[in-house]
Amino acid sequence: MNDTICAIATSQGVGAISIIRVSGEESISIVNKLFKGKNLEEVESHTINYGHIINKNGETIDEVLVSIMKAPKTFTAEDTVEINTHGGIAPTNKVLELLLENGCRLAEPGEFTKRAFLNGRIDLLEAEAVMDMINAKTDVQRKMAANQISGKTSDLINELRNDMVQIISNINVNIDYPEYDDVDIITNDLLVPKMTNLKQKITKILKESENGKIIKEGIKTSIIGRPNVGKSSLLNALLEEDKAIVTDIAGTTRDIVEGQIRINGIILNMIDTAGIRETEDKIEAIGVEKSKKIMEESDLILFMLNNNEELTDDIKELLNKLDNKNYLILINKNDLTQKLNREELNVDKSRIIDLSIIENKGIDELKDKIVELFNIEEIETKDPTYLSNTRSISILRRCLERVEDVEQSLKDNMPIDMIELDIKNIWEELGTINGSNYEEELLDEMFSRFCLGK
């Protein structure tokens, strides 16, 4: 943290401008050695200065604009310089080379954001949101990342921790200073409603965070059914392109075909699977097994049936496995004679949609049903303040389990000082979500996923 780092902050290639970012105690003095123009060590903070970058022989490398930002009011909370060069690989790399020759070290992936965290400029949730903002593909994803960067999501965790601090403080006062009459005596009976309230708050955050996961990762959607029911045709219709090969030969799709569509700002990761049937073809059999596995892992199953085909025993068996899953039953080929007996369908009849892909019928109804099933309309219009990454959500789930353990301990009349230790452990674990408590290995792993200039 005592050295000065630098990196290219823009995508490399031909463009109007490239930006090289420098951060650390010596950032201004190092850049000043290369800069022909005003003395950068004497200019005001947060100013843009025109000049040229020159090498030790006085040769002009490029005409530049240099932004000077002095600590602590910078992204890293350190002195920071940004050099705006002409876009292009050669001038950008040459300026970077000169910085390295004059005392800078090449930044590690995500090191600028890591320094911002370590210097107290942002917390861990806000740091993670920086990468979410960079990777945002939809406006809803952008809004969620913006809320997390602003600290709104961190406030949810801070509120939980503050509630627990009050409980822990009261218990400690009772134990250490029993002679104080003006402090509430914390008993097991008094703790029960406090822990119930904490449990309700955590449960609410987790439930709403399901929306955050949908916004960030999308909805993993598998198209399941027998060969030749129209799975590939449905994928192509939803994507509005010929992504999958469509023929009337059963078993054409032997491996998965993927694509993405957006419905009201939410991404659906579509997977067209191999048709499910008994087969002696080894390659096709592997595809069938993969289809069944994908069905188990999907957030949404679009189970396609052929209106012109009777139900088979293997399909009936799969339909019985749809309980407790998000699914829609799509009956395709309604332009053909009906041979499918709908009375045999052991499913929620409100989830059945009639299709005729060849006539382009039922696609809009399908999209509307998906919107209804996942409350996408509400997600799109609501201010998205959720936990959205797997790390944070898994920690919060563990904390919920521990709160439930404390509730059980209270029912079993465990000593209050033992329960206080359990509550303190939950408080500390909640701190790992926003980085109040952290391990160096976690930071290294997390920030390694960032780009160099961030």
pLDDT in tens, 197-211: 999 999 999 988 888
pLDDT in tens, 156-201: 899 999 988 888 887 776 555 554 444 455 567 778 888 899 999 9
How confident is the model at residue 380, as a pLDDT? 63
Give the three-state DSSP class for 124: helix
pLDDT in tens, 300-312: 999 888 888 888 8
Sign of CA dihedral 419, 421, 424, 429: negative
Cβ-based neighbours of 188, under 8 Å, separated by 6 or more: 410, 413, 414, 416, 419
Pair of tokens at residue 335: 């332009």
Query: pTM of the prediction?
Result: 0.71
pLDDT in tens, 48-102: 999 999 999 999 999 999 999 999 999 999 999 999 999 888 999 999 999 999 9
433-440 contacts at long range (C-beta below 8 A, 24 or more positions apart)? 433/124, 433/125, 433/157, 433/387, 433/392, 433/395, 433/396, 434/123, 434/124, 434/125, 434/154, 434/157, 434/158, 435/117, 435/123, 435/124, 435/125, 435/127, 436/123, 436/161, 438/124
Residue 284 binned pLDDT confidence (cut-offs 50, 70, 90): low
Give the three-state DSSP class for 69: strand
In whole angstroms, give the CA distance from residue 210 to residue 268.
Answer: 15
Beta pairing partners, 306:
332
Mean pLDDT estimate for the chain: 85
In whole angstroms, give the CA distance from residue 419 to residue 188.
Answer: 9
What percentage of residues in the chain have a pLDDT greater than 90? 35
Residue 253 binned pLDDT confidence (cut-offs 50, 70, 90): very low
- Residue 116: DSSP 8-state: H
